[in-house]
Amino acid sequence: MTVRVRFAPSPTGYLHIGAARSALFNWLYARKSGGKFLLRIEDTDLQRSTDESTRSIIEGLEWLELDYDEDLMFQSDKGPEHRAAADRLLAEGKAYRDFTPKEQRDDKDVKQDIRARAKANEVEGFDERSNPYRNLSKEESDRRAAAGEPFAVRLKVPVEGKTKFDDIVYGPQERSHSEIEDLVLLRSDGHPLYNLSVVIDDIEMGITHVIRGQDHLTNTHKQILIYEALGAPVPRFAHLPLILAPNKSKLSKRKHGEVVSLTTYRDRGFIPAAFRNFLALLGWSPPEGKEILSKEELVQLFALEDIGRANAIFNFHENDPRRWTDDKALWMNSEYIRTMPLDELLPMVKAELRANKLWREEYDDGDREWLLKTLDMIRQRFFTLKDFSNQGRAYFSDDFDFDETAVNKNLRKEPRLRELLNGLADKLEAVEPFNAQTAEAALRSFADETGVKSGLLINGSRTMLTGQAVGPSMFEIFEVLGRDRSVQRLRSGIPFQ
């Protein structure tokens, strides 16, 4: 039996990182087992579903490099099949028509409503099988339906017995039928509901393993009842622990904003491989403990059995621009930026520089060597791709800003510095050939001649040439920027104004 798994998001917003991780785990399992990874868009709630969300989901998967097999499927195309299945269950007496008038519920406080009602039912010794229409005669039911009376279709859950399944992550699960209500399969307007739709689609797609969030753990019993009523084989299930916010609440767009959206990471300069790597470590850990893992290594090491059961906290820091997302995610990204093969990094940096009008066509041929050398130098202390266009701007353009604190610290503190730097410029102008070694020699001898510490000149130069207080070795910077630009920037005097 070949493995077939699916990722089935509903397109009611951007792809959030919890969903992205579900997709990742499904994908990993499919690739690991030589099976198929399918994508299904659960857009049955037409009011809330948008094409834009669907696009963002597909883009998100592409960005993470999670390729799917076979055709993309839209659940809304399958309405007739879902209704047919419900009709069949009805005909076989495994479901019944419920003529109770539809209750209007405000989406806002349903939760509260449900609890209040459940509590009340509890006191009265409510029986889940007490629906008066459950045992309505077939004739009567057919007659009322034919007369046009609206009805919902409910599954006739057996009175006795229980459903069982062995979750790959959570272990054996059991639930008595008496705790499961006769769930609605079809709304009174004929619209199929979630639990029916997933089951029918999963059957039709031949899904062998359902890998999804733990929030569906208890729903699984209802779904198994549907599989059984339909006489279809029940797939294996693997439920994933949830990803929570720092205060242990569920991650949500409304409460937590863009940190939970996958596209944010793309837009703020994450390397896909780094984010994928980070995501994989949320709830799962490799047997050997090695954490920096390529896509191939992830596929090779991944096992559903190694997934943990406790919910994971996504530890981002609201109100802290420097640590706007999880520390480990940021660290992972910097790790990738400074250690990944340069030629793989290059296209991403190119896109970043392009977007900021810092890219020059010569970087593709004549200046390619220079570019690679420069990138290799500056990437050592970068955290995201954005840094190439922000902190790294001075390497690609003469139009860059001076950091105020850097100017104060490295330039204004010593009144003679402006003059000294001009002198250094004169000295460097005569250096031949001009490279890191010769520039260092020149600077150090100039320091001796003028009786100042070389550090003063070095730090001053760094701020003059890059606008910043921190960065790579100064002599490397001289070499990368070249004599002309170095000299020109040393003389510019701009930050002193």
CA distance 26 to 66: 10
SS3 171: strand
437: left (phi over 0), alpha (psi -120 to 50) or beta: alpha
Q: Does 285 bind RNA (CB under 7 A)?
A: yes
Helix axes 79-91, 219-230, angle to 10 degrees: 70
Q: How many CB atoms lie within 10 A of CB 270?
A: 27
Interface with RNA includes 42 (CB under 7 A)? yes
Residue list 217-236, contact with RNA (CB under 7 A): 217-219
| 222 among known catalytic residues | no
- By C-beta, is 241 or 269 nearer to RNA? 241
Residue 146 interacting with RNA (CB under 7 A)? no
**Binders of RNA in range 356-415 (CB under 7 A):** 380-381
Residues 292-311 that bind RNA (CB under 7 A): 306, 308-311
Q: How far is the CB of 101 from RNA (least distance, A)?
A: 6
| Site residue total, RNA (CB under 7 A) | 87
341: cis peptide before it, omega within 30°?
no
End-to-end Cα, the chain, rounded Å: 74
By rule CB under 7 A, what string of x and - marks binding of each residue 166-205 to RNA? ----xx-x-x---x-x-xx--xxx-x-xxx----------
Span 415-474, contacts to RNA by CB under 7 A: 454-455, 458-459, 462, 469-474
Beta bridge partners of 163: 175
CB of 492 to RNA, least distance (A): 19
Angle at the Cα of 465 from the Cα atoms of 397 and 332, rounded to 5 degrees: 75
HSE, side-chain direction, 13 A CA sphere, residue 349: 29
Measured from the CB atom, the residue of 34 and 171 that comes closer to RNA is 171
User: Toward RNA, which CB reaches closer, 315 or 450?
Assistant: 315
Q: Which of 236, 253, 328, 412 binds RNA (CB under 7 A)?
A: 328
Q: Which of 1, 248, 296, 399 touches RNA (CB under 7 A)?
A: 248
* CB nearer to RNA: pick between 76 and 360: 76
Measured distance CA(475)–CA(302) in Å, rounded? 45
**Binding to RNA (CB under 7 A): which residues in 73-132?**
98, 100-103, 105, 107, 110-111, 114-115, 117-119, 121-122
Sign of the Cα torsion 120, 109, 193, 253 reads: negative
**Closer by beta carbon to RNA, 309 or else 368:** 309
Closer of 108 and 433 to RNA (Cβ): 108
Tokens of 203: 């059957």
Segment interacting with RNA, rule: CB under 7 A, options 78-86, 327-335, 424-432, 487-495: 327-335
Beta carbon of residue 364, minimum distance to RNA (angstroms, whole number)? 28
State which residue, 107 or 296, has the beta carbon closest to RNA: 107
Taken in order 104, 43, 227, 177, the sign of the CA dihedral is negative
Q: Measured from the CB atom, is 216 or 268 closer to RNA?
A: 216
Nearest-approach distance from CB 190 to RNA, in angstroms: 9
Please list every residue from 253 through 282 that binds RNA, using CB under 7 A.
281-282
State which of residues 88, 236, 250, 386 lies at the interface with RNA (CB under 7 A). 250
For 271, residues 6+ apart whose C-beta sits below 8 A from its C-beta are 333, 336, 337, 340, 345, 348, 385
Rounded alpha-carbon distances, angstroms, from residue 470 to 15, 124, 321, 418: 37, 71, 19, 19
Of the listed 253, 328, 350, 409, which one is catalytic? 253
For residue 161, state whether it binds RNA (rule: CB under 7 A): no
User: How much of the chain is in helix, strand and coil states, percent to nearest 5?
Assistant: 50, 10, 35
Alpha carbons 54 and 15: distance in angstroms, whole number:
9
If one asks whether residue 141 binds RNA (CB under 7 A), the answer comes out as no
Verify binding: residue 216, RNA, rule CB under 7 A. Answer: yes
* Minimum distance, C-beta of residue 154 to RNA, in the bound complex (Å): 8
| The two three-digit tokens of residue 144, written as one number | 């009322």
Which residues are paired to 210 by β-bridges?
Answer: 237
* Whether 323 contacts 354, CB under 8 Å: no
Kindly list the catalytic residues: 253
